[in-house]
Chain A
Amino acid sequence: MSLRIVVCVKYVPDATGDRHFAEDLTVDRDDVDGLLSELDEYAVEQALQIADEADEAEITVLTVGPEDAKDALRKALSMGADKAVHVEDDDLHGTDVMGTSLVLAKAVEKIGYDLVICGMASTDGNMGVLPAILAERLGVPQVTLLSEVSVEDGRVTGRRDGDTASEQLEAALPAVVSVTDQSGEARYPSFKGIMAAKKKPVESWDLEDLEIDADAVGLEGAWTKVEDAKERPARTAGTIVKDEGEGGKQLAEFLAGQKFI
């Protein structure tokens, strides 16, 4: 039987750009170019490797986001995913993690899955909680923050490296997995992959397709509210000295002055 893998990816503002908030205190997406969240590339890579090991597998890459988010799907398709689903709806603007996880859960169920793979966090919101919430909503095991993952005989196993210990985890499918940037370098799309991606199917769904009430998502439906956002004041220029043989001593003098020594 074919292993059905859904990879959740996010289209995020480029972190090297100048990121800002829009007037409604949502992320200003017009201001900075977007791209596939780097940490999600690792999720796509692990999906591809798991699919390679399986007798038969199909990888669907899924995203929730505005029109431009298709770019993130194209990137994943050019890496080797089979098909894509884009959930797009004007009412989704300003959706928080609770709303996003609801949309993803409904979409994952509609696609049909044995395994959901996510990156460890997005590179914009950086919360790192979506995989756990998705598992809670789907009512399946979470096998998260893995630096190593494999699937065999209907079970997923992996290694989770924590602060105090390294754990070997195991769960039966279906399950939600998240992988860290230690799971294995993500491949670059080949020219052939990029050409092939253009012919792969990308389905577009809206809230109605997922039977989600518009009130449950968007800025109004969010369970949290950003009250204000202030740009951090630029640091005042520090002292910079050139080492002429006494650099270490000068630095010690500074640290002593600041009471660190």
Chain B
Amino acid sequence: MAEVLVYVDHVDGAVRKPTLELLTLARRIGDPVAVHLGAGADAAAGVLAEHGAVKVLTADAPEFADYLVVPKVDAVAAAYQAVSPVAVLFPSSAEGKEIAARLAVRIGSGLITDAVDLEAGDEGPVATQSVFAAAFTTRSTVTKGTPVITVKPNSAAVEAAPAAGAVEQLEVSFGELATGTKVVSRTPRESTGRPELTEAAIVVSGGRGVNGAENFPVIEALADSLGAAVGASRAAVDAGWYPHTAQVGQTGKSVSPQLYIAAGISGAIQHRAGMQTSKTIVAINKDAEAPIFELVDYGVVGDLFDVVPQLTEEVKARKG
């Protein structure tokens, strides 16, 4: 069967969930061959094999951490030469998209980003995308070269499918551009202990109605009762109440969880663009005319400072 390259997103060998989703989607097109760059390949190999990787190509070199993006492009290009796959898949992270993009132009292939579904077609993979603030759904194909496709988190349910997952060393020679952009220093983000925003099954977001950084614990408490990630609207972020990394919307992160709870968010197009594909949408807002209510499965017109704490208590009580 044809092979499909899957780029592995990981933190020192801890494979992130979107990569496991990618392996599930890759199996619809062919046999997944995982590309693991950097440290921790031994730890990752088992997980990758469990989820369908027939082979795991690995390379480790200081260049991957010390320079931005390009060394990884060189490595994936080497994997591409070694395997001659029918498609190359990446998670739609900022870095995943940039590696995919440079690889695509380098190998003369069309690029599709932010797919939300993937299926085998007569002439190669067909990618579904959600566009214009999720008002339209398109299906696209790559017409030139080997399809390079990035897939958004939560686009498929992770399925176990044990495969050989034999680890093979990948020979990589770095080009002149590989050392062009130096990573002078790296400060790890402090972990909140909550799920990663783009990967979370439930997201609770606060907006202008939260009315101050000092009130965000109300949102966080609800999130924690549900095991959810915390998001924020642009208004809340611009006001400095919550970090930009939590911003949901067109200029922030786009999320597609099973459940999205918007508290004190009016639902401007900018925000809707980032959350409209959530499976179930719930809103709490004082303003009955807020556009967010057009999207909801369930809405409460009321003061979030009354509704949210009551909900939090109720969730805790029910979970016992």
Please determine whether B113 and A127 come into contact, CB atoms closer than 8 angstroms: yes
Please determine whether B307 and A132 come into contact, CB atoms closer than 8 angstroms: no
Interface string of B172-184 (1 = CB under 8 A from A): 0000010011111
**B46-54, B81-89, B162-170, B297-305 - interface stretch:** B297-305
Please determine whether B189 and A164 come into contact, CB atoms closer than 8 angstroms: yes
Contact partners of B309 in chain A: CB under 8 A: 248
Q: Please give the distance in Å from B300's CB to the nearest CB on chain A.
A: 4
Interface string of A1-44 (1 = CB under 8 A from B): 00000000000000110010100010000000000001100000
Does A50 belong to the interface (CB within 8 Å)? no
Query: Pick the contact of B140 from A227, A246, A258 — CB < 8 Å?
Result: A227
Please determine whether A224 and B110 come into contact, CB atoms closer than 8 angstroms: yes
Contact partners of A222 in chain B: CB under 8 A: 110, 143
Please determine whether B98 and A232 come into contact, CB atoms closer than 8 angstroms: no
Query: Pick the contact of B184 from A39, A169, A242 — CB < 8 Å?
Result: A169
Does A95 belong to the interface (CB within 8 Å)? no
Please determine whether B296 and A240 come into contact, CB atoms closer than 8 angstroms: yes
Please determine whether A223 and B110 come into contact, CB atoms closer than 8 angstroms: yes
Q: Please give the distance in Å from B141's CB to the nearest CB on chain A.
A: 5
Q: Please give the distance in Å from B169's CB to the nearest CB on chain A.
A: 26
Measured in the bound complex, the distance between the Cα atoms of B251 and A194 in whole Å is 27
Query: Pick the contact of A255 from B145, B181, B188, B315 — CB < 8 Å?
Result: B315
Please determine whether A164 and B280 come into contact, CB atoms closer than 8 angstroms: no
Contact partners of A235 in chain B: CB under 8 A: 281, 294-297
Interface of A is mostly: mixed
Please determine whether B94 and A128 come into contact, CB atoms closer than 8 angstroms: yes
- Known: A229-B136, A256-B318. Contact between A133 and B297, CB under 8 A? no
Q: CB within 8 Å of A: which of B139-160?
A: 139-145
Contact partners of B105 in chain A: CB under 8 A: 98, 101, 133, 136-137
Does B314 belong to the interface (CB within 8 Å)? yes
Q: CB within 8 Å of B: which of A47-79?
A: none
Does A89 belong to the interface (CB within 8 Å)? no
Please determine whether B98 and A247 come into contact, CB atoms closer than 8 angstroms: no
Please determine whether A228 and B245 come into contact, CB atoms closer than 8 angstroms: no
**B24-32, B34-42, B126-134 - interface stretch:** B126-134
Chain A, residue nearest B144 (CB): A223
Does A112 belong to the interface (CB within 8 Å)? no
Contact partners of B131 in chain A: CB under 8 A: 126, 229
Please determine whether A161 and B244 come into contact, CB atoms closer than 8 angstroms: yes
Q: CB within 8 Å of A: which of B261-320?
A: 269-270, 273, 280-282, 284, 288, 293-303, 306-315, 318-319
Does B57 belong to the interface (CB within 8 Å)? no
Does B213 belong to the interface (CB within 8 Å)? no
Please determine whether A19 and B185 come into contact, CB atoms closer than 8 angstroms: no
**A80-88, A140-148, A201-209 - interface stretch:** A140-148
Does A231 belong to the interface (CB within 8 Å)? yes
Measured in the bound complex, the distance between the Cα atoms of B184 and A157 in whole Å is 9
Measured in the bound complex, the distance between the Cα atoms of B131 and A120 in whole Å is 17
Query: Pick the contact of A15 from B182, B259, B269 — CB < 8 Å?
Result: B269
Please determine whether B250 and A15 come into contact, CB atoms closer than 8 angstroms: yes
Please determine whether B189 and A227 come into contact, CB atoms closer than 8 angstroms: no
Chain A contact residues, CB within 8 Å of chain B: 15-16, 19, 21, 25, 38-39, 96-98, 101, 120, 123-124, 126-130, 132-133, 135-137, 139-145, 147, 157, 160-172, 175, 180-182, 222-232, 235, 238-243, 245-252, 254-256, 258, 260-261
Chain B contact residues, CB within 8 Å of chain A: 11, 68-70, 73, 93-95, 97-98, 100-102, 104-106, 109-114, 126, 130-145, 177, 180-189, 196, 198, 202, 226, 244-245, 250-251, 258-259, 269-270, 273, 280-282, 284, 288, 293-303, 306-315, 318-319
The 7 closest A-B pairs by CB, nearest first: A243-B302, A248-B310, A223-B110, A141-B180, A129-B101, A252-B314, A248-B311
Contact sample, A vs B, 25 pairs, CB 8 Å cutoff:
A15-B250, A98-B104, A98-B105, A98-B110, A126-B250, A127-B101, A129-B101, A141-B68, A143-B68, A143-B181, A164-B188, A165-B188, A228-B139, A229-B137, A229-B139, A235-B281, A247-B302, A248-B300, A248-B306, A248-B311, A249-B311, A251-B307, A251-B314, A256-B318, A260-B258
